[in-house]
A = this chain, B = another copy of it.
Amino acid sequence: MKTYSYPKPDLWPKICERTAFDVPITKELCRQIFADVYKRRDESLRTYTKKFDGVDLSSIVSADADLKKWADKTPMALRIAINLAAENIKKFHLAQKTDILQETVSTMPGVVCWRESRPVERVGLYVPGGSAPLVSTVLMLGIPAKLAGCKEIVLCTPPSVGEKLAPAICYAALLVGATTVVNVGGIQAIAALSLGTESVPKVDKIFGPGNQFVTTAKQFAGEYGVAIDMPAGPSEVMVIADNSANPAFVAADILSQAEHGPDSQAVLVSTEDVLIAAVKKLLKLQSQGLPRKDIVRAALENSYIVKLGSIDEAIKFANTYAPEHLILNIKDAEKVVSEISNAGSVFLGNYSPESAGDYASGTNHTLPTGGWARSYGGVSLDSFVKKVTFQSLSYKGLKSLAPTITAIAEAEGLRAHAEAVRIRLRKNKV
């Protein structure tokens, strides 16, 4: 890990830049697959699943009976863990629920305006498969979707050989109440959710993480009027540590980030030379026993340490970086909370590792990466609803607003806007 020693603030934006990756080949592949799924629909999904996953799909959608059969193979200890994590996620997201009717304001006599919350009706949840099926992603997306009242919850995940889905994924899918489970992954899954096929319903919004293929495909979804949760990039953590931090915990947190993927980034910001030296040593030691050691090594090459003069400066650096995860492993961490302006999820103190939030504390783990925390929050119940504005004016209400509306409309050169008011006052039948 490279170390920056007391970098000047005008260098911070440069240090904080993430590696951009633009992949014209992936874009071209997306264009082809979207066009083919549009034309050949289910048949196209079979072709690409055979090509990319090596699986001959007999059914594109899992039957409920099959889901139940596979779910039953989930070991009991894992079921208990999933149940408890689900409970906590439910509790935290339920607290985000607002009244349907909101902010009724009578801005003037006879002019009543309000907003009402409505679920996004059809949502698609992408759950990556591959080496490890991400059961936690099913919970993090499925639970708020259900709480929000989404009518269709379509879960897509790639099949493994033998056309089976991982038992824990099936268990979690049934637990959250997914309405359709599609055994398709990759670009073709996102294309199916965007366009609809005989088996896969078209959705209004797509959620979930994925590799560069899935991420690029999600950008394409926008061209078909389908929204996405947020722009995605490699996962990242920033740890701010002072002399109250246990260097072994700091090293473990950095490694748990590094094992996500070779493009993951961990940034340690500290005021303490002794701690920095200890963490460096412990990173080597702790990484030895890890199964994903090679990934960890690659990610650490992409990571760095920043030495700064004060915690105050460290917080300012964090706001410049806008990390997905921010661990404040410092004394009286709660005192600096109000200073944090740009971060996805923040972990306070020595006993709040990122993995708590990744799985089980109740907060969502779908968070803004790549500096998007400057403008986006993580996935929450809000991500599954939208708010519709309503207004009701009486004749008197309109009359009192009329001079205002007509003056601005005329100033903007929009005469018919003014006329829509004038005609109502002229032809008043009340």
Q: Does residue A162 face the partner (Cβ distance < 8 Å to B)? A: no
Please, which residues of chain B bring their CB within 8 A of the CB of A103?
Answer: 92, 95-96
- A105 adjacent to B95 (CB under 8 Å): yes
Per-residue 0/1 for A219-235: is the Cβ within 8 Å of any B Cβ (1 yes, 0 no)? 00011011100010000
Q: Does residue A115 face the partner (Cβ distance < 8 Å to B)? A: yes
Please, which residues of chain B bring their CB within 8 A of the CB of A363?
Answer: 113, 389, 391
- A419 adjacent to B92 (CB under 8 Å): no
- A407 adjacent to B78 (CB under 8 Å): yes
Q: Does residue A374 face the partner (Cβ distance < 8 Å to B)? A: yes
- B258 adjacent to A393 (CB under 8 Å): no
Partner of A360, one of B204, B346, B408, B412: B408
- B136 adjacent to A347 (CB under 8 Å): no
Q: How large is the interface on A (under 10, 10 to 19, 20 to 34, 35 or more residues)?
A: 35 or more
- A351 adjacent to B105 (CB under 8 Å): no
Query: What 4 additional pairs, Cβ within 8 angstroms, besides A85-B404, A255-B416?
Result: A291-B415, A353-B424, A354-B417, A377-B389
Partner of A78, one of B88, B290, B292, B408: B408
Q: Which A residues, 356 to 395, have Cβ-Cβ distances below 8 Å to chain B?
A: 356-364, 367-368, 370-378, 380, 382, 386-395
Q: Does residue A26 face the partner (Cβ distance < 8 Å to B)? A: no
- Secondary structure of the A contact surface, majority rule: mixed
Please, which residues of chain B bring their CB within 8 A of the CB of A116?
Answer: 337
- B355 adjacent to A418 (CB under 8 Å): yes
- B78 adjacent to A205 (CB under 8 Å): no
Please, which residues of chain B bring their CB within 8 A of the CB of A372?
Answer: 225, 227
Q: Does residue A302 face the partner (Cβ distance < 8 Å to B)? A: no
- B88 adjacent to A392 (CB under 8 Å): no
Closest-CB distance, A329 to chain B (whole angstroms): 11
- B391 adjacent to A290 (CB under 8 Å): no
| Number of identical monomers bound together in the oligomeric complex | 2
Closest-CB distance, A285 to chain B (whole angstroms): 11
Please, which residues of chain B bring their CB within 8 A of the CB of A258?
Answer: 416
Q: Residue of B at shortest CB range from A97?
A: B103
Query: Which of A63-71, A176-184, A246-254, A272-280 contacts its partner?
Result: A246-254
Query: Which of A47-55, A126-134, A185-193, A209-217 contacts its partner?
Result: A126-134
Closest 4 interchain pairs by CB? Answer: A132-B413, A81-B407, A227-B375, A107-B362
Partner of A358, one of B119, B132, B340, B417: B417
Closest-CB distance, A414 to chain B (whole angstroms): 6
Closest-CB distance, A418 to chain B (whole angstroms): 7
- B259 adjacent to A416 (CB under 8 Å): yes
Q: Does residue A243 face the partner (Cβ distance < 8 Å to B)? A: no
Per-residue 0/1 for A70-85: is the Cβ within 8 Å of any B Cβ (1 yes, 0 no)? 0000000110111011
- B292 adjacent to A419 (CB under 8 Å): no
Q: Does residue A164 face the partner (Cβ distance < 8 Å to B)? A: no
Listed A/B pairs (17) with beta-carbon separation below 8 Å? A77-B403, A85-B404, A91-B107, A115-B377, A135-B411, A135-B412, A227-B372, A246-B427, A256-B417, A334-B392, A350-B424, A351-B398, A352-B392, A352-B398, A377-B389, A380-B387, A382-B382
Q: Known contacts A92-B105, A121-B341: does B413 contact A131 (CB below 8 Å)?
A: yes
Closest-CB distance, A369 to chain B (whole angstroms): 10
Please, which residues of chain B bring their CB within 8 A of the CB of A394?
Answer: 351
Q: Does residue A238 face the partner (Cβ distance < 8 Å to B)? A: no
Please, which residues of chain B bring their CB within 8 A of the CB of A380?
Answer: 115, 387
Q: Does residue A270 face the partner (Cβ distance < 8 Å to B)? A: no
- B356 adjacent to A391 (CB under 8 Å): yes
Q: Does residue A8 face the partner (Cβ distance < 8 Å to B)? A: no
Q: Does residue A168 face the partner (Cβ distance < 8 Å to B)? A: yes
- A352 adjacent to B391 (CB under 8 Å): yes
Please, which residues of chain B bring their CB within 8 A of the CB of A409?
Answer: 355, 358-359
Q: Known contacts A81-B403, A347-B391: does B91 contact A105 (CB below 8 Å)?
A: yes
